Structure 1
Amino acid sequence: MTAHIHDNTRIGQVSLKVSNLERSIEFYTEVVGFQLLRQTADTAELTVDGKHPLLTLKFIENAVILPRQSAAGLYHFAILVPNRVALGLSLRNLLAHEIEIGQGDHDVSEALYIHDPDNNGIEIYADRPRDQWKKDANGYYIMGTDPVDAEGLVAISENLPWQGLPEGTVIGHVHFHVSNLLKAQQFYCDVLGFDITCRYGSSAMFVSAGGYHHHMGLNIWAGEGAPPAPEHAAGLDYFELIVPNPTELEAVVVRLTAAGYGVEERDGAKYVADPFRIHIKLVTDGQTV
């Protein structure tokens, strides 16, 4: 029987390893728009609603900052804002900080791309209504790379104050460099149970739960056979995969264990590493409150 993860599965918190905690806090609050929730000597939790952490920053002493697209690991994590007005406000704030901005109209969404001081990729995006998403003859979502209507985004948010990322902002998806797409498909689809929603030639694929355009992107743009990112490098610490209930969590753990993946329990949560040493924290909705 083909594995199928629950339709209500979603991405939760992202935890990043950073080389300079204060610098990263300043970037993620002033440039990206998070609020600082709490801080210790070597960690910071950032939020959008003032209650729940959405991004954790973990200081790594003497952390190596890797060149972009040089190892398996984080390509970008994607911050989903509620609407085009919020995306326009983010664009205006990024322009005010004069940082390099990439962009793409992906048909299903409009996206802005930046990098933090440690070369961690960040996407800030707004979805188009789901009834506007189109599929090709193979049943895959059509996701293009046209230019974003930047002038329209600036205009729609004109005369509105920048107040950071609004409530309702979530981590919409995560996108990884992997060393082999077939291995990635075997893990994320055959074992975890995600559905393939789009293929980008033979170099990238997108997978999701519940018909979303993608909860994960997987690519070999760092090269076939790219090595895992070193543990002491800045980059992804882990990301949360949230399933709706304990029964679904147990089913996922059973599939992982049967496939030979070691599931570790600590801090009341379960952790597993994919074939590329990308770490996943498995939790239920109730554990995130």
Structure 2
Amino acid sequence: MTVNFMGAVFVRVTDLEQSLRFYSDVLGLQLRNIEECGRIANYIIDEKSPLLTLIKTEGFEASEYPTFNLNCNNVLEIHEKLVAQGVKVGPIKNWSSDVNIHIDFDVYDPDGNAINLIEWSRKD
């Protein structure tokens, strides 16, 4: 089997309209389309990224751990802005790997799905 690329990341949500406002207005993502069935919404980040697909689903429990992260600039400013807006966020974490220096935090959508927002730079 040969995998060419990741096509989409799926996020289950209970209220698609409420989630659309969060992912569009709070996170600033670009909505590509809502599928005809009316229960699936696709966000595009850039031409090379997988789609972020919201799927309206009843009766699930959100994980407290993020299943994906979004690479951002100015993570500290984003955290401050989200806190001022009353959005649920986790603490800021600073850490290093063998290659990069990271700063990140989790933000929670209306269903409690954790989304990790991260900024990293190469170690010198």
Q: TM-score range by the shorter chain?
A: 0.7 to 0.9
What residue number does 2:116 align with?
123
What residue number does 2:42 align with?
45
Match of 2:71 among 70, 80, 88: 80
Q: Does 1:20 align with 2:15?
A: yes
The CA distance in 2 between the partners of 1:37 and 1:118, in whole Å, is 21
CA RMSD of aligned residues (A): 2.7
The CA distance in 1 between the partners of 2:62 and 2:49, in whole Å, is 32
Q: Secondary structure at the match of 1:128?
A: strand
- Is this contact kept in 2: 1:65–1:119, CA < 8 A? no
Q: Which one has a bigger Cα radius of gyration?
A: 1
Q: Does 1:105 align with 2:100?
A: no
TM-score, L = length of structure 2: 0.74
Q: Secondary structure at the match of 1:23?
A: helix
Residue 54 of structure 1 and its aligned partner are, at CA, apart by 2.9
Q: Secondary structure at the match of 1:46?
A: strand
Identity %: 27
Structure 1 residues 111 and 12: CA distance shift in structure 2, 3 A: farther
Structure 1 residues 36 and 93: CA distance shift in structure 2, 3 A: farther
Q: Does 1:35 align with 2:30?
A: yes
The CA distance in 1 between the partners of 2:47 and 2:80, in whole Å, is 23
The one-character-per-residue Cα deviations of 1:231-262 (angstroms, maximum 9, x if unpaired) are xxxxxxxxxxxxxxxxxxxxxxxxxxxxxxxx
- Aligned partner letter, 2:111: D
- Is this contact kept in 1: 2:14–2:56, CA < 8 A? yes
The one-character-per-residue Cα deviations of 1:182-220 (angstroms, maximum 9, x if unpaired) are xxxxxxxxxxxxxxxxxxxxxxxxxxxxxxxxxxxxxxx
Q: Please identify which structure carries the higher helix content.
A: 1
Structure 1's consecutive aligned runs of 4 or more residues displaced over 4 angstroms after TM superposition are 9-12, 50-53
Q: Provide structure 1 residue ranges, at least 5 long, that are not aligned to the other structure.
A: 1-8, 70-74, 133-289
The CA distance in 2 between the partners of 1:22 and 1:51, in whole Å, is 26
Structure 1 residues 13 and 32: CA distance shift in structure 2, 3 A: same
Residue 49 of structure 1 and its aligned partner are, at CA, apart by 3.8
- Aligned partner letter, 1:78: N
Residue 38 of structure 1 and its aligned partner are, at CA, apart by 0.6
The CA distance in 1 between the partners of 2:110 and 2:27, in whole Å, is 12
Mapping 1:1-289, distance limit 5 Å: 13-40=8-35, 41-49=38-46, 54-60=51-57, 63-66=58-61, 68-69=63-64, 75-76=65-66, 77-81=68-72, 83=73, 85=74, 87-102=75-90, 103-107=92-96, 108-129=101-122, 131-132=123-124
Q: Provide structure 2 residue ranges, at least 5 long, that are not aligned to the other structure.
A: none
TM-score, L = length of structure 1: 0.35
